[in-house]
Structure formats: structure tokens, C-alpha cells
């Protein structure tokens, strides 16, 4: 598995983001259910969000996030940063080793 930081940057007013946040979080739950997401949450200040994820490839994680309502509705842009988690807390060993 490859590991990614996904940076979401809002392109729409927060009123439009707030209207879609329920659908976005439901989409994210699917990624959690598949074991692909570890963390997600809004940035502070609220200009976007950050997600820690894993997938077989960059293309696979990008394809998954094409289904995110934020992206499908043109509300946000995405930056996918691949990284190698060489150091981690012991409790994350099974998640990073997969």
C-alpha cells in the first residue's frame, strides 16, 4: 500500500461547503469502512481539510476521491502527497504495514 496526505482546498463559500458536508462525510465513511482512511478533518482556519489515507496507487486514491461530493460538485480542489511512513507509533503498525 502507498500512503497519502490529501489536502482539500475549498473553492466555494462556506455556505456551499456546509450544505454538502453531510454528503462529504458519508462519502468519507465509505473510505473508512474499506480501511483506506485513517484521519480526516477540517483545517483551522477552515479553508479546506486534511486526510491521511492509503491505497494501492496514486491513481486508485484519485479515482476514489472523484466520487467525493466536494469534488463532484466543483466545491474543492485536491492535492495528493505520497509519503513513506518510516516512523510511527506502535499502534499504527498494522495500518501502515498493509
Per-residue model confidence as pLDDT tens digits over 27-52: 999 999 999 999 999 999 999 999 99
C-alpha cell at 74: 466543483
C-alpha cell at 13: 463559500
28: cell is 468519507
Q: What average pLDDT does the chain have?
A: 96
Burial state string for 41-64 with b = 16 or more CB within 10 A and e = fewer than 16 = eeeeeeebbebbbbbeeeeebeeb
How far apart are alpha carbons 50 and 78 in whole angstroms?
Answer: 10
How confident is the model over 3-19, as pLDDT tens digits? Answer: 999 999 999 999 999 99
Please state, for a pLDDT cut of 90, what percent of the chain lies above it.
88
In this structure, is the dihedral angle defined by the CA atoms of residues 3, 96, 55 and 22, taken in order, positive or negative? negative
The domains of the chain are located at: 19-42+55-98
Amino acid at each position: 500500500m502507498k500512503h497519502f496526505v490529501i489536502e482539500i482546498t475549498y473553492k466555494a463559500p462556506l455556505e456551499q461547503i456546509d450544505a454538502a458536508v453531510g454528503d462529504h462525510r458519508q462519502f468519507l465513511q465509505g473510505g473508512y469502512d474499506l480501511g483506506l482512511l485513517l484521519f480526516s478533518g477540517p483545517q483551522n482556519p477552515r479553508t479546506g481539510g486534511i486526510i491521511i489515507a492509503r491505497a494501492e496507487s496514486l491513481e486508485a486514491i484519485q479515482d476514489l476521491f472523484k466520487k467525493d461530493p466536494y469534488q463532484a460538485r466543483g466545491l474543492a480542489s485536491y492535492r495528493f502527497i505520497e509519503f513513506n511512513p518510516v516512523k510511527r507509533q506502535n499502534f499504527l503498525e498494522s495500518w501502515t504495514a498493509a
